[in-house]
């Protein structure tokens, strides 16, 4: 069973799988996640909308495999879009791609694959799975510029036993070349780097169109002194520099957001950095690390891995950074690595 989004990556993953197992043994499945006439007209682009599903169907036909579509719009709205909007209203910076993988894509796809008796669930993610000593390891992709292991940290041992990532050892250039060699219709289709359901709409406008009030408030320093005003906490994220205002003696960064009091707290770069933080709702690829484990933590998908010491207790993790970091934003995922291996991840809290 192959998850197909209509993009070149999942199409090449499908072609490689069909080459390995035979076309009759493979089936492509696409998920319609988000598509309304209003947003399609406004943004000019949606995620897994009819055009993308058409591209996926054409790719499946070119490869010669069966193809099915699952309408997951309500599931996606309830589990990804609505929590995304609510998180911003509370002064957090959520990661919708992590939620989508955990709560929409993999849980349904893996359940369906098991019910159909499929031996593998194949996706076009750039990551690797390795079996060592009877256990499965989730690893970064060979192409560091395309690595997506950050978004996959919620996968368990049981799930990794079934999941396959054929692109994990390839570069994007190689993937494009394979697509052209096989005359796939989406070989040169551009990829999007933005939040799919927000598309071309400015984020503040999207949030306000979906019920987040544009409530003015104060910009204050760490001592509580009022430095200016703003048009809504949802327009800011921790670590941000631009958009705060001018006239300060030193460059100012967002150090914290207080949605209840409608306050944006700012400080110098040093004041806005953190040496420790707490995260909750932890999940581990194998088992929780022992207290005092040294590893690296990534607080954004494209962020630099930071040396850290972690103490995990139940679903909570205390993280001590060995050097201060800017942009430790509540709501974002903290993903823990040992070299290329993903240990697990959790959601950063405000405290």
How confident is the model over 133-146, as pLDDT tens digits?
999 999 999 999 99
Evaluate if residue 281 carries a pLDDT over 90. yes
Residue 155 neighbours by CB distance under 10 Å: 24
Alpha carbon distance, N-terminus to C-terminus of the chain: 42
pLDDT at 3: 96
Region 276-295: what's the mean pLDDT? 95
> Which of the residues are catalytic?
100, 196
Of the candidates 292, 282, 339, the one whose C-alpha atom is nearest the C-alpha of residue 320 is 292
Evaluate if residue 49 carries a pLDDT over 90. no
| H or E stretch covering 82 | helix 82-89
- The domains of the chain, with CATH numbers, are 2-124+166-181 (3.40.50.620), 214-271 (2.30.30.280), 274-348 (2.40.30.10)
pLDDT tens, residue by residue, 153-162:
999 999 999 9
Evaluate if residue 47 carries a pLDDT over 60. no
> Residue 314's pLDDT band (boundaries 50, 70, 90)?
confident
* Burial class, 127, CB count within 10 angstroms (exposed 0-12 / middle 13-18 / buried 19+): buried
Evaluate if residue 44 carries a pLDDT over 90. no
């Amino acid at each position: 069973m192959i998850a197909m989004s209509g993009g070149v990556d999942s199409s090449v993953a499908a072609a490689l799988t069909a080459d390995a197992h035979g076309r009759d043994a493979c089936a492509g499945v696409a998920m319609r996640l988000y598509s309304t006439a209003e947003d399609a007209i406004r943004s000019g682009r949606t995620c897994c909308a009819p055009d993308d599903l058409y591209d996926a169907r054409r790719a499946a036909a070119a490869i010669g495999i069966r193809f099915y579509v699952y309408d997951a719009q309500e599931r996606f709205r309830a589990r990804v879009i609505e929590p995304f909007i609510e998180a911003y209203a509370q002064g957090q910076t959520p990661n919708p791609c992590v939620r989508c993988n955990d709560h929409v894509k993999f849980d349904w796809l893996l359940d369906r694959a098991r019910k159909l008796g499929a031996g593998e669930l194949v996706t076009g993610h750039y990551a690797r799975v390795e079996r060592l000593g009877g256990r499965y390891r989730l690893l970064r992709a060979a192409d560091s510029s395309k690595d997506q292991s950050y978004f996959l940290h919620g996968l368990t041992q049981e799930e990794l036993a079934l999941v396959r990532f054929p692109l994990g050892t390839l570069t994007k250039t190689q993937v494009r070349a394979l697509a052209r060699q096989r005359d796939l219709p989406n070989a040169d289709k551009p990829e999007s780097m933005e939040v799919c359901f927000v598309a071309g709409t400015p984020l503040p406008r999207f949030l306000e169109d979906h019920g987040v009030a544009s409530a003015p408030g104060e910009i204050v320093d760490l001592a509580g002194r009022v430095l200016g005003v703003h048009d809504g906490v949802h327009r800011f994220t921790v670590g941000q520099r631009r958009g705060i205002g001018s006239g300060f003696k030193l460059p100012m960064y967002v150090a914290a957001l207080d949605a209840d009091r409608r306050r944006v707290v700012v400080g110098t770069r040093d004041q806005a950095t953190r040496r420790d933080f707490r995260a909750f709702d932890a999940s581990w690829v194998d088992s929780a690390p022992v207290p005092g484990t040294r590893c690296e933590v990534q607080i954004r998908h494209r962020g630099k891995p930071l040396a850290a010491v972690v103490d995990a207790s139940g679903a909570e993790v205390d993280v001590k950074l060995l050097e201060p970091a800017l942009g430790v934003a509540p709501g974002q995922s903290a993903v823990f690595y040992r070299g290329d291996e993903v240990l697990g991840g959790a959601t950063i809290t405000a405290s």
